[in-house]
Amino acid sequence: MGREGNIVRVSGLRFSYGPKEVLRGVSLDVEAGHFYGLVGPNGCGKTTLLDLILGAKRPVSGSVLVRGKEAGGYNRRVLARELALVPQEYHISFTFTVEEIILMGRHPYRGRLSSPSVRDRKIAEEVMERLELTPFRQRYITRLSGGEKQRVIFARALAQDTRILLLDEATSNMDIYYTFLCLRSVAEEVEKNGRTVIATFHDLNLAGGFCDRMVFLKEGCAVAQGQTRDVLNAENVMDTFGVPCTIMTNPIDGTKQVFFKTNGRSETAH
């Protein structure tokens, strides 16, 4: 995968659930080879925007182009070679093993009734090793914890080996160790292979730590977007979330981090 300019272009996007307008004229140019973070309050349209990019929903007006073509105009198998999604929640009641679930990420590259190829199994092996899932490979997914299931679905999306990866609060059920393991794995794909990632976050510090681009959404509008070092500031956080904060540089890695007052006491209280 190489860097290829704008890989996703969102123009004047509007979407409604019945009378409720969720997105109101959102425009966004996603450049290939970058890690984008979508942040904003609950109900601001983050997940809906990912669904529209994925072609799972059709806009009321405006357009979503994926590599120059309308997202809704792709054959589903072809689009699945371009885009992979890690949803926030994934429900499955069938007794598939972890390995079988991860190999499902290879379906867009196989014939309808064909078995996984040597290459498919090699990719699945590599992904399981990267995300420390090898010991679980023969375990049924129905017997895993919520965080373990989410890591398996994350691995399935990586095995899909797409140019674009969509993450919808994709580490919300994971502990800190596995959150960092998964996000670091994705960040390496961006840096080394030019993969493009668009991820929704509630945690501004995760977004600030991993994303080099950020988009602030509020009431269905993109109120700020650009390089993280420019747009992750106290003014945008206050305007978007209504919460005062201080932005400081992480002394360990130089990323921008957000600090909130949480104890309700004045600075002079003891």
pLDDT digits (tens, 9 = 90+) for 129-180: 999 999 999 999 999 999 999 999 999 999 999 999 999 999 999 999 999 9
Predicted pLDDT at 270: 40
Q: Is the pLDDT of residue 265 over 70?
A: no
Within a domain: 255: no
What is the H or E stretch that residue 157 is in?
helix 146-159
The pLDDT tens digits of the residues spanning 93-109 come to 788 999 999 999 999 99
Domain span at 124? 6-233
Q: Which residues, including other chains, have CB under 8 Å from residue 253's CB and lie 6 or more apart?
A: 209
Strands 83-86 and 69-70: unpaired
The total of structural domains in the chain comes to 1
Name the amino acid, one letter, at 132.
E
Tell me the average pLDDT across 233-259. Answer: 96
Within a domain: 201: yes
Per-position DSSP letters for 19-62, written without gaps between them: TEEEEEEEEEEEETT-EEEEE-STTSSHHHHHHHHHTSS--SEE
Predicted pLDDT at 91: 79
pLDDT band at residue 31 under the 50/70/90 scheme: very high
- Give me the sign of the Cα torsion angle 125, 126, 127, 129: positive
The structure tokens 């993450």 sit at 167
Predicted pLDDT at 57: 93
Within a domain: 241: no
pLDDT band at residue 268 under the 50/70/90 scheme: very low
Predicted pLDDT at 193: 93
Q: Cβ of 96: how many Cβ atoms within 10 Å? A: 15
The pLDDT tens digits of the residues spanning 171-212 come to 999 999 999 999 999 999 999 999 999 999 999 999 999 999
Within a domain: 63: yes
Predicted pLDDT at 2: 47
Considering the entire predicted model, what is its pTM? Answer: 0.93
Predicted pLDDT at 36: 98
Q: What CATH number did the domain enclosing 127 receive?
A: 3.40.50.300
Within a domain: 199: yes
Q: Burial level of 39, CB count in 10 A (0-12/13-18/19+)?
A: buried
Name the amino acid, one letter, at 164.
I
Q: Burial level of 177, CB count in 10 A (0-12/13-18/19+)?
A: exposed
Q: Is the pLDDT of residue 1 over 60?
A: no
Q: Burial level of 268, CB count in 10 A (0-12/13-18/19+)?
A: exposed
Within a domain: 122: yes
The pLDDT tens digits of the residues spanning 73-129 come to 899 999 999 999 999 888 777 889 999 999 999 999 987 778 999 999 999 999 999
Within a domain: 261: no
Question: Apex CA 156: angle with CA 11 and CA 135, to 5°?
Answer: 155
Rg (CA), the chain: 19
Q: Is the pLDDT of residue 269 over 70?
A: no
Q: Are 208 and 257 in contact (CB under 8 A)?
A: yes
pLDDT band at residue 20 under the 50/70/90 scheme: very high
Within a domain: 249: no
